[in-house]
Amino acid sequence: MLDEAKLTAAVTGLTEEQVRAIVREEVERAAKRDPASKHAAIIASKGTLDWAYPPLILATTAAASGMETHVFFTFYGLNVIHRDFERKLKVSPVGNPAMPMPMPMPNLVTAMPGMGPIATQMMRSMFSRKNVATIAELLDSARESGVRLIACQMTMDVFGYGQDDFVEGVEFGGAAAFLSHARRAHTTLFI
């Protein structure tokens, strides 16, 4: 005997065409959510003043736009989160003919004692004159906006650093920890 309730349910059954339309709509909606677009994984490997800016500027900008952001500090990049970063982050004009100098100088001159400190001071004032945040301010801003700062345990070991050598809020991990975040992130950068 025909059950009228079941028949009513049946009557609402969708055709293949209708199902495909629903699927495409849902898939498109999922693509817009795209979880990988909300993650950024950055490696900071350089230990000079100039190269300390890019990872911190990109990380704080990413966090400001709602991205879950990890910065993995390794090799010379450990300088950036060292308690003594103000003293450790220097620039050298030697071997970088792209560094803007007040006047062109041959490498032998830029290699002379004293040119490193002058170049470092020059870069600091170039940035501060233009009201770019200092490294200290960028580190604060990174922590306040939830950027995770991770020191590479292997290179800490190699360079003889202990956990106490770093600024507050730093976590510790290895390349596998970095990759477990990076493999879910569209934005992955080695700086």
Q: How far is the CB of 124 from a copy of itself (least distance, A)?
A: 11
**Is position 172 an interface residue for a copy of itself (rule: CB under 8 A)?**
no
Residue 72, strand partner residues: 43, 150
Q: Which of 83, 136, 146, 179 binds a copy of itself (CB under 8 A)?
A: 179
The one segment of 137-145, 162-170, 172-180 that binds a copy of itself by CB under 8 A: 172-180
Q: How far is the CB of 27 from a copy of itself (least distance, A)?
A: 5
SS3 (DSSP) at 145: coil
Backbone angles phi, psi at 168, to 5 degrees: -60, 145
**Is position 95 an interface residue for a copy of itself (rule: CB under 8 A)?**
yes
Q: Which of 134, 157, 163, 171 binds a copy of itself (CB under 8 A)?
A: 157
SS3 (DSSP) at 131: coil
Rg (alpha carbons) of the chain, rounded to whole number: 26
What lies within 8 Å, CB to CB, of 189 at 6+ separation is: 40, 41, 42, 43, 55, 58
Residue 120-139 contact track with a copy of itself, rule CB under 8 A, x = bound: ------xx--x-x-------
Q: How far is the CB of 168 from a copy of itself (least distance, A)?
A: 22
Distance between CA atoms of residues 119 and 103, nearest Å: 12
H helices within the chain, ranges in order? 4-11, 16-33, 49-64, 85-88, 107-110, 115-129, 135-144, 153-159, 175-182
The one segment of 140-148, 162-170, 181-189 that binds a copy of itself by CB under 8 A: 181-189
Q: Which of 121, 134, 158, 171 binds a copy of itself (CB under 8 A)?
A: 158
Size of the site for a copy of itself (CB under 8 A): 95
* Touching a copy of itself, residues 23-82 (CB under 8 A): 23-24, 26-28, 30-31, 34-38, 40-41, 43, 45-48, 50, 53-54, 57-58, 61-62, 64-65, 67, 74-76, 79
CA quadruple 177, 183, 184, 190: dihedral positive or negative? positive
Q: Which of 84, 97, 136, 172 binds a copy of itself (CB under 8 A)?
A: 97
Distance between CA atoms of residues 72 and 155, nearest Å: 11
